[in-house]
């Protein structure tokens, strides 16, 4: 099993004819993702290079093809509207890749998500992959090891690939890997995904990659304690050496008013009994040890 | 993006937030002209830099009469102002604000930020104005009163009223505070602010509620729709190497260490800085070269890292996903024909075509130090600085 996506997921690509959208559609098709439709307003009725039918609206795409998930490659000024359109069309899952959406635009999107059954991953994220079954996003598929027992949740992109690579090198496969995004407002949090992994019998362990800014990691630590989360959890927090008051690339990665430091987050996680790596090079090894010690108990 | 106090007050004034009369001055002469125009005895001479704590550092002075104004304008203009936010190097004052002194009855605090947990903006006030709000939040959190702004809506009259009453205001003060709060939210929303703080927000002896300070940060992601705000950017307040990096679309932040880093992805860039520290070094910078690490971006990256004389070695850490490592390696090799690099360069490439990339680097003319893993790279880069720490 896996969470959120599998080989039955039917995907619509919003922004399929853009440069990014077209390139990654190709990559996802090659990985085996079932892409049933694309959307580019004004290009309805055409087909893309892979023969995927293009629609003018997400609603049309959903009605005609039964798509239940959407991935968004729409430029920042129009991306929030694209999210709202997908919510309105009633898809179960949105994966918003776009980086640079104004926060003011994301506030109503978050509200619309809260009032619907739709879940959104991102924005400003690499996406989600259930290795060997379905890839929705821009991550390199080949670094993953299919049908594994470890889930990965991360606020980062390439640092997630680093963690996945280390797991694969240790011979540890992944159940589902999710980049939740580096923005201040995101659709899905650590807690949302931890609770899904909690109910997934295939997942024995979870790698959590956080970073400076906000308090999502602290909240996740508290949640795991309160809910007796008994799977192996290994965490790394990026930005232990980041100066306060500076935005470290991601819009959400900033230590503001003395809050959101890596030290605070690491302490909260440790207090919740989670194995916290100081070094990003130790993630794979630490998970291997953790899984092994559980097995011998 | 940040702006100066006087620029923030101009936005406030235009939106109906009461602020003291005042004029910016770019020289002592202009300061004297501003004083004349204000046509009052008591004014405040305020240093304009992008950092808080200016008063404690000696950058804000109350002046009475021409002589004092001239003296303080002379003292402050050009001074190196050191505050808890500037670091020990301080900032040279190049702009002043000359503003009418206010009759202060009470100092309050008002601020608007995003509450990430609820995904809503939150309007905060406190009766503890004029002091560091972080301290209030840590020691007496009950003294900070909050109202959340509903999505697709504005701060409501009743919310502003609740805040005003909670502050202990009364009579005509309530009316004035409500108007000020509603107008502050209008500015915040209209210009896509990411943070707004008025500390102090002042109740005058004539019961007005005025903004005696303004601190505004804007959402960089929304600047594309605010050309007028972009024009307010003061590049002299920013690190020159960061401004240059920005012009090449590179995300660079200068730090104080000696190991330069070039990484793809913000999270991995932070992680690379962290591991350098774990191996006993100090990162010299944060640099995210983004998804396309080609010869041109790598060359710009080298130039910017090398503009910092403290850098003794460079660590390039690229995880090739969609971008192929052999292309990145070729980019690095080509970049070195454009830029002269005499300090050690440690390279770690992982992911797509990593093996081919390592062969390219080993056969290259430049003497790269090729690392096999992230830990190996950090260790080698720190060792290559030749400095024990």
Subunit contact A27:B322, Cβ cutoff 8 A: yes
At residue A259, the pLDDT reads 83
Work out whether the CA dihedral B314, B319, B320, B325 comes out positive or negative. positive
Residue B255 burial by CB count (10 A; 0-12/13-18/19+): exposed, middle or buried? buried
Is residue A74 within 8 A of residue A82, CB to CB? The reply is yes
pLDDT along chain B (389 residues), means of 10: 97 97 97 96 96 89 95 96 85 96 96 93 93 82 94 96 97 97 98 96 96 96 97 92 89 94 94 97 93 78 92 93 83 88 93 88 88 94 82
Task: Name chain A contacts of B222, Cβ cutoff 8 Å.
Answer: 102-105
What three-state secondary structure class fits B113? Answer: strand
Across the interface, of A139, A211, A256, the residue whose CB is closest to B321 is A139
**CA separation, residue A79 to residues A92, A97, B121 (Å):** 18, 9, 20
Task: Name chain B contacts of A209, Cβ cutoff 8 Å.
Answer: 267
pLDDT along chain A (297 residues), means of 10: 93 96 95 98 96 98 98 97 98 97 98 97 97 96 96 95 96 97 96 97 97 95 95 97 89 83 96 96 97 77
End-to-end CA distance of chain A: 24
Which residue of A97, A153, A158, A266 to mutate against B (max B Cβ within 10 Å)?
Answer: A158
Contacts of A199 (CB under 8 A, 6+ apart): none
Across the interface, of B265, B273, B275, the residue whose CB is closest to A157 is B265
Across the interface, of B189, B253, B271, the residue whose CB is closest to A104 is B189
The ipTM of this complex is 0.92
Is residue B122 within 8 A of residue B146, CB to CB? The reply is yes
Which letter, b or e, does each residue of A74-91 get, where b requires 16 or more Cβ atoms within 10 Å of its Cβ? bebbbbbebbbbbbebeb
Subunit contact B270:A27, Cβ cutoff 8 A: no
Give the Cα separation of B66 and B36 in Å (integer).
Answer: 9
Is residue B264 within 8 A of residue B289, CB to CB? The reply is yes
End-to-end CA distance of chain B: 35
Within 10 Å of residue B55's Cβ, how many Cβ atoms?
Answer: 15
Please, which residues 24-53 of chain A have a Cβ atom closer than 8 Å to chain B? 27
Residue A176 DSSP one-character state:
E
Distance from CA of B121 to the nearest CA of A (A): 8
- E strand residue ranges, A49-149: 54-55, 69-72, 93-96, 119-121, 127-130, 134-137
Work out whether the CA dihedral B134, B136, B141, B143 comes out positive or negative. negative
Supply B192's token pair.
């896509």
Share of chain B residues as helix, strand and coil, in percent rounded to the nearest 5: 40, 25, 35
Task: Name chain B contacts of A242, Cβ cutoff 8 Å.
Answer: 270, 273, 286
Of A149, A159, A161, the C-alpha closest to A205 is A149
Of A85, A163, A144, A154, the C-alpha closest to A121 is A154
At residue B364, the pLDDT reads 87
Distance from CA of B225 to the nearest CA of A (A): 9
Reported as type and span, the H/E element at residue A11 is strand A11-14
What three-state secondary structure class fits B130? Answer: coil
At residue A36, the pLDDT reads 98
Give the Cα separation of A93 and A67 in Å (integer).
Answer: 10
At residue B293, the pLDDT reads 67
Q: What does residue B145 show for φ and ψ, rounded to 5 degrees?
A: -110, 135
Task: Name chain B contacts of A143, Cβ cutoff 8 Å.
Answer: 321, 351
Which member of A24, A117, A147, A250 is catalytic?
A: A250
Torsion, CA A47, CA A50, CA A56, CA A61, rounded to 10: 120
Task: Name chain B contacts of A262, Cβ cutoff 8 Å.
Answer: 274
Cα atoms found within 13 Å of the Cα of residue A143, Cβ hemisphere only: 24
Q: Is A100 on the interface with B (CB under 8 A)?
A: yes
Task: Name chain B contacts of A26, Cβ cutoff 8 Å.
Answer: none
Contacts of B304 (CB under 8 A, 6+ apart): B241, B244, B245, B248, B250, B252, B287
Across the interface, of B220, B224, B275, the residue whose CB is closest to A279 is B275
At residue A297, the pLDDT reads 54
**CA separation, residue B289 to residues B24, B302, B317 (Å):** 38, 11, 10
Minimum CA–CA partner of B374 in chain A: A281
Which member of B99, B128, B147, B197 is catalytic?
A: B197
**Annotated catalytic residue A250:** yes
User: Which residue in this structure is represented by tokens 């005895």?
Assistant: B41
Subunit contact B267:A250, Cβ cutoff 8 A: yes
Q: Is A103 on the interface with B (CB under 8 A)?
A: yes
């Amino acid at each position: 099993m896996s969470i959120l996506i599998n080989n039955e997921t039917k995907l619509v690509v919003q922004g399929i004819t853009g440069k990014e959208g077209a390139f990654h559609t190709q990559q996802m098709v090659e990985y085996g993702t079932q892409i049933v439709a694309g959307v580019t307003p004004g290009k309805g009725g055409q087909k893309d290079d892979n023969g995927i039918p293009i629609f003018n609206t997400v609603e049309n795409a959903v009605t005609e093809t039964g798509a239940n998930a959407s991935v968004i490659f729409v430029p920042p000024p129009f991306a929030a509207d694209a999210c709202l359109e997908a919510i309105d069309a009633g898809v179960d899952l949105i994966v918003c890749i776009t980086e640079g959406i104004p926060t003011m635009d994301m506030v109503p999107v978050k509200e619309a998500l809260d009032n619907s059954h739709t879940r959104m991953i991102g924005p400003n994220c690499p996406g989600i992959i259930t290795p060997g079954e379905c890839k929705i996003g821009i991550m390199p598929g080949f670094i993953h090891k299919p049908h594994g027992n470890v889930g990965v949740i991360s606020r980062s992109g390439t640092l997630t690939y680093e963690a996945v690579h280390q797991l694969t090198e240790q011979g540890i496969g992944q159940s589902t890997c999710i980049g939740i995004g580096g923005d201040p407002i995101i659709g899905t949090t650590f807690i949302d995904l931890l609770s899904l992994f909690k109910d997934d019998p295939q997942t024995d362990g979870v790698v959590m990659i956080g970073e400076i800014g906000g308090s999502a990691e602290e909240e996740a630590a508290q949640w795991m304690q309160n809910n007796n989360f008994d799977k192996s959890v290994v965490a790394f927090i990026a930005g232990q050496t980041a100066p306060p008051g500076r935005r470290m690339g991601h819009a959400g990665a900033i230590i503001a008013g003395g809050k959101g430091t890596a030290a605070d987050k690491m302490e909260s996680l440790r207090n919740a009994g989670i194995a916290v790596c100081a070094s990003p090079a130790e993630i794979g090894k630490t998970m291997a040890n953790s899984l092994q010690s559980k097995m011998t108990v | 993006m940040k702006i100066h106090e006087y620029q923030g007050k101009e936005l406030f004034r235009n939106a109906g937030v009461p602020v003291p009369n005042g004029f910016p001055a770019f020289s002592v002469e202009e300061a004297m002209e501003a004083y004349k125009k204000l046509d009052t005895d008591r004014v405040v001479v305020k240093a304009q830099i992008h950092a808080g704590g200016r008063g404690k550092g000696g950058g804000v002075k109350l002046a009475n009469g021409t002589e004092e104004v001239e003296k303080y304008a002379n003292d402050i203009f050009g001074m190196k102002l050191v505050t808890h936010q500037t670091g020990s190097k301080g900032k040279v004052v190049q702009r002043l604000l000359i503003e009418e002194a206010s009759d202060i009855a009470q100092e309050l605090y008002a601020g608007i930020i995003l509450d990430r947990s609820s995904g809503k903006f939150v309007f905060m006030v406190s009766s503890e104005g004029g002091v560091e709000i972080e301290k209030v939040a840590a020691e007496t959190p009950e003294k900070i009163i909050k109202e959340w702004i509903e999505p697709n809506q504005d701060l409501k009259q009743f919310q502003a009223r609740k805040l005003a009453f909670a502050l202990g205001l009364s009579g005509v003060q309530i009316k004035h505070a409500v108007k000020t709060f509603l107008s502050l939210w209008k500015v915040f929303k209209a210009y896509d602010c990411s943070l707004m703080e008025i500390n102090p927000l002042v109740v005058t002896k004539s019961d007005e509620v005025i903004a005696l300070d303004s601190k505004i940060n804007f959402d960089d992601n929304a600047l594309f729709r605010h050309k007028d705000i972009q024009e307010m950017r003061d590049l002299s307040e920013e690190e020159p190497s960061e401004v240059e990096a920005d012009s090449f679309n590179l995300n660079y932040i200068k730090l104080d260490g000696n190991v330069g880093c070039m990484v793809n992805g913000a999270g991995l860039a932070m992680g690379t800085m962290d591991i350098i520290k774990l191996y006993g070094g100090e990162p010299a910078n944060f640099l995210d070269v983004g998804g396309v690490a080609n010869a041109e971006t790598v060359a710009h990256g080298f130039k910017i890292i090398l503009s910092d004389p403290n850098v003794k070695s460079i660590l390039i850490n690229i995880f090739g996903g969609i971008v192929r490592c052999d292309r990145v390696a070729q980019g690095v090799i080509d970049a070195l024909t454009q830029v002269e690099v005499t300090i050690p360069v440690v390279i770690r490439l992982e992911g797509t075509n990593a093996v081919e990339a390592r062969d390219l680097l080993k056969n290259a003319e430049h003497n790269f130090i090729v690392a096999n893993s992230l830990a190996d790279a950090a260790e080698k880069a720190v060792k290559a600085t030749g400095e024990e720490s």
